[in-house]
Amino acid sequence: MTKRFSGRIRRWLYLLAFLLASLGALTVLPAHLAVGPAVALDDAPAWVLSSGMAGTRDNETLYWRGRGPGMHTASRVAPAPRNAEFLALHACMRRAAAPNGAALFLASENSGALDFNRHYFASQISRLPQGECATDLFPRRDGDGDAIVQLAIFEPDARVAIDSVTLTPMQENPQWRLLRRVMLPLGIGLVLYLFLPYLLMTPRLLGLGGVAAVVAILFGCCVGVSLKADIYALISGGRQIVVEQDLASMLLSPFPLGGFSLFTYLHGVFFATACVLLETLRRGAWLDLLLLGAASETLQIWVPGRGPGVSDMLVDWAGVAAGLTLVLVFRSAQRVRLFLQHQRIDKDTAGL
């Protein structure tokens, strides 16, 4: 085993140890603690219904049905304490009559508008198996007021039964915060240590470009949710609804759909770019980038309001696969060109 390869293995082991330690910490130490009681949102009359939406409550279950084409919504205001850093929206599904029929959304009132830029849809609840529950954590920032929860039904005549919907104010666990301030810089440092040798290889331009793509990937996975939302709003124009004086009318407005999928696709592009540059520089760089895909998702454990996602990691790996394919095609074309050159030289030599 060469010294260079043993050094690469050592870097892999350091980063793998960090990934395992991060996942272990997530299982033994809660990242967030409740700072108030969970607010039950199962009072059907408190929801404001759009035309065609019907809702009833039977014992512990809320029954919703959207009649006719188009989106149907049920919305309500949920008070949120000022000291809450996050809101945990929890829903338990009883059954759904359409495979992709309904989703829960959450927004916060801020500066006279409902701000959706920090909020993904809570859960595609109709995809949950019967009796299963889902929880999503939504970050808050200074100036956020009450929360607005909306149930949207997309398909005609879709029916949804939900056993419970609750909203819980949360704060970051102080012990977790201390650990996060150590683990996040450590993880970033180990990733940069893995890719440091590429800066010393020639041609330097390939190494610099590839490592720059890695830095961009790290920025995308480690930036806070609020800053990420501001960047998204700058690119897309933002997603907001101006709060009207007539709150009931405002609650009838469907929430804007979509999330931060743009950043997921950009991650795939950066992974493909890094693979083309670094794999051209050194064979086997794609292995480092596969590990980076797992590391970039694991690092999000330590970013407040963020979390790892298997689907995002698969997008990253798809970018690596695309970049590797381009490099292999380029190398094959080079081999064919060299072969033809040799054939021509041999023919010319034979003619002499």
What are the tens digits of pLDDT across the range 203-261?
Answer: 899 999 999 999 999 998 888 877 777 777 777 666 666 766 566 677 787 877 665 56
Q: What is the mean pLDDT of residues 320-340?
A: 79
Q: What is the mean pLDDT of residues 62-88?
A: 85
Say whether pLDDT at 190 is over 70: yes
pLDDT band with cut points at 50, 70 and 90 for residue 198: very high
Looking up tokens 């670094």 gives 278
**Tens of pLDDT, residues 90-148:** 888 776 555 567 788 888 887 777 776 665 555 566 566 666 788 888 888 888 888 88
- Average pLDDT score, the chain: 82
pLDDT of residue 323: 94
Least confident of 7-11, 18-22, 263-267, 333-337: 333-337
Nearest CA to 62 among 95, 99, 29? 95
Percentage of the chain with pLDDT > 70? 81
Nearest CA to 90 among 76, 77, 106, 68? 106
Q: What is the DSSP string of 230-289?
A: HHHHHHH---EEEPPS-HHHHHTSPPPP--SHHHHHHHHHHHHHHHHHHHHHSTTHHHHH
More confident residue, 59 or 199: 199
How far apart (Å, rounded) are the C-alpha atoms in residues 269 and 156? 37
CA distances from 245 to 99, 242, 248, 250, 252 (A): 37, 10, 9, 8, 13
Q: Are 141 and 230 in contact (CB under 8 A)?
A: no
Say whether pLDDT at 192 is over 90: yes
Say whether pLDDT at 345 is over 80: no
CATH, range 33-171:
2.60.120.260
How far apart (Å, rounded) are the C-alpha atoms in residues 223 and 294? 17
- 324, containing H or E segment: helix 310-351
Q: What is the CA radius of gyration of the chain?
A: 26
Least confident of 5-14, 61-70, 161-170: 61-70
- pTM attached to this predicted model: 0.81
How far apart (Å, rounded) are the C-alpha atoms in residues 92 and 153? 16
CA distances from 297 to 15, 193, 220, 247, 315 (A): 13, 18, 10, 39, 11
pLDDT of residue 239: 66
Least confident of 174-183, 196-205, 232-241: 232-241
pLDDT of residue 257: 67
Nearest CA to 97 among 162, 143, 47? 162
pLDDT of residue 278: 95
Say whether pLDDT at 326 is over 80: yes
CB atoms within 10 A of CB 126: 21
Phi, psi of 187 (to 5 degrees): -65, -45
Domain boundaries, the chain: 3-29+174-338, 33-171
More confident residue, 26 or 257: 26
More confident residue, 330 or 225: 330
Residue 37 DSSP code: P
- 291, containing H or E segment: helix 285-299
pLDDT band with cut points at 50, 70 and 90 for residue 183: very high
Q: What is the mean pLDDT of residues 273-282?
A: 93
